Amino acid sequence: MRAPLIILILILLAVLALVGYNSGWFGTSATGPSPTTAGDILPGAPVGPGAEPDEPVGDGGLEQLPDEAQAQGPVDPVNTPDLPAAGTFGHFPAGELLPKSGSGYLDRTTWSPQLCFPFAEDAFANSQVYGAGGGMGPKDKPSQCDASNYSLPWRDNFCESRGHASPLCANGKGHQGQDIRPATCKKDKHWVVAAEDGIITDMGTYTVTLTGAAPPHRVYRYLHMRMNQLAVKDGATVKAGDKLGLASNDFGGTPTTIHMHFEIRSGVSGVSTDGKPVKLHTFLPPYQSLVAAYDRKRAGQACQ
Ligand SMILES: [Zn+2]
C-alpha cells in the first residue's frame, strides 16, 4: 500500500515543482505580470452534470472537525523577499494560514485572473473552523459573530487541515477551497454572485456548481447558500456578477457557520522528473485570485 502512495506523492511534487517553476510560483510578485499560464491550464472537462467529478465536498462545519491534525505548523513565508504586495486592503499572503491550522504552500498563481469577486458586497475571507465560533476556534471567542471574523485582514485557508483530497496541498489533503464570510453575521441576506460567465452545471444538497463558458472552463463550486431561495436553476446561463443565491449556513441536515465556501477547479499539466507527462483536473488555491478580484471590486471595476 505504501509504495504506490509514495510514487503518487513524488509525481505530485514533480508536477508542483514544474508548474510552479513555469508559472513563477517561487519568485513572482503578485504586483508583477500575472503568472497565470494559459499554457499550463488544460481545457476543462466537458460541461454537463455527468462531467462533474464525484469529489468529496470540502467543507467542514462545527461538527466536522479536521481528521488530520498536523504537528508541524504552516509554512511561514513572511520573511521571503518576493512576497506579494499588501494590496489595497489588509490581507495575509497566500499560504499563510492561521497558526496550527494546517500547512501552507508557495503558490502565488492567480488561477482565475479575471475572477468576479463572488459576493456583491464586502466580505471576509478567513477560516470558519479555526476562527471564532468554529469547532477548532479559540475557546475565549465562542461566537461566530465575533468581530474578528468580520474584519480585516483576510486569511487563506485552502490547505487547512482536513481530510479531503487536495493534491496541491503539502500532504495531498486539505480544505479544497476558501471560506468567505458575508458583510455581516446575518444569514440569507447577502448575495453571492457568479465568478465568471458560464452555466450552472450541478446543484447538490448544499452546493451550486458554475462552469465557465470560456476556456479553460474553470469549475467554481459554491457551498452553503440558502438552497431553497436560489436565484438560478440547474442549467441556467449566467453572466459574471449575476446573483446566484444568499449566503447562509445550509449543510445538509446540520447547519454550519454562516459563510460561503468557494472552490476553483481546472486542469493543470506538467512533466514529471523522469519526463512523463502529468495532467490533473483538481482544486486550485483560490486566495490569490480572490485578493485580486477584491482589489478590482474596491477600485469600482465592474465584472466582465
Ligand atoms: Zn470551507
Q: How far is the CA of 271 from the centre of ligand 1 (A)?
A: 31
pLDDT of residue 78: 40
Domain count, the chain: 1
Q: How far is the CA of 276 from the centre of ligand 1 (A)?
A: 34
Q: How far is the CA of 24 from the centre of ligand 1 (A)?
A: 27
Q: How far is the CA of 222 from the centre of ligand 1 (A)?
A: 10
Q: CB of 220 within 8 A of CB of 210?
A: yes
Asked if residue 124 is part of any domain, the answer here is: yes
The two most distant CA atoms of the chain are separated, in Å, by 53
For the CA atoms of 156, 158, 161, 162, what is the dihedral angle to 10 degrees? 140
Q: How far is the CA of 170 from the centre of ligand 1 (A)?
A: 18
Q: How far is the CA of 165 from the centre of ligand 1 (A)?
A: 13
Q: How far is the CA of 46 from the centre of ligand 1 (A)?
A: 26
Asked if residue 304 is part of any domain, the answer here is: no
Asked if residue 201 is part of any domain, the answer here is: yes
pLDDT tens string 99-149: 999 887 767 789 999 999 999 999 999 999 999 999 999 999 999 999 999
d(CA 53, CA 208): 13
Asked if residue 256 is part of any domain, the answer here is: yes
Collapsing DSSP to helix, strand or coil, 140 comes out as coil
Asked if residue 287 is part of any domain, the answer here is: yes
Asked if residue 303 is part of any domain, the answer here is: no
Domain range holding 50?
Answer: 2-29+41-298
Q: How far is the CA of 194 from the centre of ligand 1 (A)?
A: 18
Q: What CATH number did the domain enclosing 111 receive? A: 2.70.70.10
Q: Which of 179, 225, 222, 197 is nearest to 116 (CA)?
A: 197
Neighbours of ion ligand 1 (CB under 5 A): 59, 179, 261
Asked if residue 68 is part of any domain, the answer here is: yes
* Residue 195, C-alpha cell as written in the block: 465568478
Asked if residue 35 is part of any domain, the answer here is: no
Q: How far is the CA of 37 from the centre of ligand 1 (A)?
A: 26
pLDDT of residue 82: 41
The residues near 33 (Cβ < 8 Å, ≥ 6 apart) are none
Q: Note down pLDDT in tens along the chain; length 304 residues.
A: 455 545 545 454 444 444 443 333 333 333 322 333 333 333 333 333 333 334 445 554 433 333 333 333 333 334 333 444 445 799 999 999 999 998 877 677 899 999 999 999 999 999 999 999 999 999 999 999 999 999 999 999 999 999 899 888 887 889 999 999 999 999 999 999 999 999 999 999 999 999 999 999 999 999 999 999 999 999 999 999 999 999 999 999 888 999 999 999 999 888 777 888 889 999 999 999 999 999 999 999 999 8
Q: What angle do CA 125, 27, 291 make, to 5 degrees?
A: 20
